[in-house]
Amino acid sequence: MAKEKGKKEKSKHPLRDNIEVIVFAVAMSLGLKVFALEAYQIPTGSMQPTLMGTQLRDGQGAVNDRVLVDKFSYLVRDPERWEVVVFRYPLIVTQNYVKRLVGLPGEELEIRHGDLWARPLGSEEDMAILQKPWNVQEHLWKRVLPRPGSNPFQWNGWRISGDHIPAGDGPLQLTGKSTVSLRTPVRDEYRDGYPDAIFSSIPVQGSGANSHRAVSDLRLTCTATASANANPLVIQLDAGPFPITLSLLSDGAKLALPNGITESIHFATKANEAIDIDLAFWDHQVRLILTSDSQETVYSSSLSLEANGSPRNSVSFNTDGGWSLNPASLSRDIHYLPPFSGATPRFEIAEGHYFMMGDNTQNSLDGRDWEARVFRFDPPLADGSSEVRGDHLQHGSDPFYDNPRWSANREFLTHRDEWGNLHQFSRADLTHGQDLRVSVPTVPRHYILGKALAVFLPIPPFAPVWRIGWVH
């Protein structure tokens, strides 16, 4: 008898079929986890504010980002500079870390005046500054002004002098010779760039408690409108030791750069037409965007400048009158700090290795300070150990996890090796052994697990702030 057309025949083994479906689903999910995508929770604040892992002050909860990690890309290509990567910590390979990749194989890397410099390993050529591309940099700016909680219509943090009409809930009117200038230099304050909702609740930790260095990488944005008889408006951005001057004229604009060159910018100032100004200097690069309803001009340049530092920076607006200004926004870049240990801030990166740093450079245990504690025994100990290597971690947030650590009676020293195994040495063992400390600043290629793609949690009410978006 022929089967009825279109009617699906029932399975003779429904239990087996269901088991097969479940096994297939589990296998697919495990395969995705191993080869494609995996979710990680951020436990610490080393990448803040890019990635958050912090207990807030005053019992206001915690923010621990959940990050989706792409594990497939690095199977078909090598990691690239500036990517945020997940990797095995080379001194405790059972722990995964997340940092920004800043140094490539075969390089000599140096931290100078808050910037990163490099040259080929073994070369005698001059160091070259490492320049972040704009698609990375635009997500790394840390807002300095206006401060969270301040009135967005007021020029808080600025000094206004000369002929002007104070701003109420509208623009500041510069009616005659006048100056608007920054009150204090921009420094690497720990909380710069954190979300407004949790800004005051972020605990200041690590070297952030006493790090107040003037920074040189700044971004200024504002809106200016000229009257019919406006005089030139001159914006002076002294990015540390690098002065930049933007002059808005009736027949165009001029941009004086810190290398001594003045560029003519094709942009005509029109009466009563608002101009959005976006001027940025970072990693010895300049980017200017002037935008109005009728025109837009984009200028960018990579400059050849010497490494230099300065204890100050400044920003000012100067005019003889005829302009109105909306309150400016000022941001700064990451200011990279040298090793906390006081070691020389220069690192050699062997082939097949990479150098990692946290965006929260004031409170990040990264390649600057990774150090191995190595115990060598000749002859070997009774258990056959001739060398035990693990991280040297002292005075951490959890004293129990310090490595190595003495017993309460100080008769035995316990040391956790790079594989997570615990070893116990007596005083007699240590008398006949070597105790060495070795810098381990880099990560082997095969320890890199994937690229951080996106933050997909937390969200209110599970956290006091929304944390959803791509990782840059």
* Active-site annotation, residues: 46, 99
Residue with tokens 């790079």: 418
Taking residue 64's Cβ as centre, other Cβ atoms within 10 Å add up to: 21
Q: Per the structure block, which two tokens stand in for 38?
A: 């995996």
Cβ pair 292, 280 in contact under 8 A: no
For residue 461, whether the previous peptide bond is cis, meaning omega lies within 30 degrees of 0, is yes
User: How many whole angstroms separate alpha carbon 91 and alpha carbon 391?
Assistant: 5
Cβ pair 371, 458 in contact under 8 A: no
For residue 458, whether the previous peptide bond is cis, meaning omega lies within 30 degrees of 0, is yes
For residue 404, whether the previous peptide bond is cis, meaning omega lies within 30 degrees of 0, is yes
- Phi–psi pair at 470, nearest 5 degrees: -75, 150
3-state SS assignment for residue 368: coil
CA dihedral 7, 8, 11, 16 (to 10 degrees): -170
Q: Name the burial class of residue 18, with classes exposed (0-12), middle (13-18) and buried (19+) by CB atoms within 10 angstroms of its CB.
A: exposed
User: How many whole angstroms separate alpha carbon 246 and alpha carbon 328?
Assistant: 15
Question: Which residues make beta-bridge pairs with 181?
Answer: 159, 316
Element (H, E) at 70: strand 66-70
User: How many whole angstroms separate alpha carbon 23 and alpha carbon 6?
Assistant: 29
Cβ pair 129, 115 in contact under 8 A: yes
Phi-psi label, residue 102: left if phi above 0, alpha if psi -120 to 50, beta otherwise? alpha
User: How many whole angstroms separate alpha carbon 40 and alpha carbon 64?
Assistant: 10
- Among positive and negative, which fits the CA dihedral 343, 346, 351, 357? positive
Residue whose C-alpha is closest to residue 285's, from 266, 265, 267, 299: 299
Q: Per the structure block, which two tokens stand in for 37?
A: 């995508």
| Rg (alpha carbons) of the chain, rounded to whole number | 28
List, in order, residues 6 or more apart from 405 with CB less than 8 Å away.
Answer: 399, 413, 414
Residue whose C-alpha is closest to residue 450's, from 66, 82, 27, 78: 78
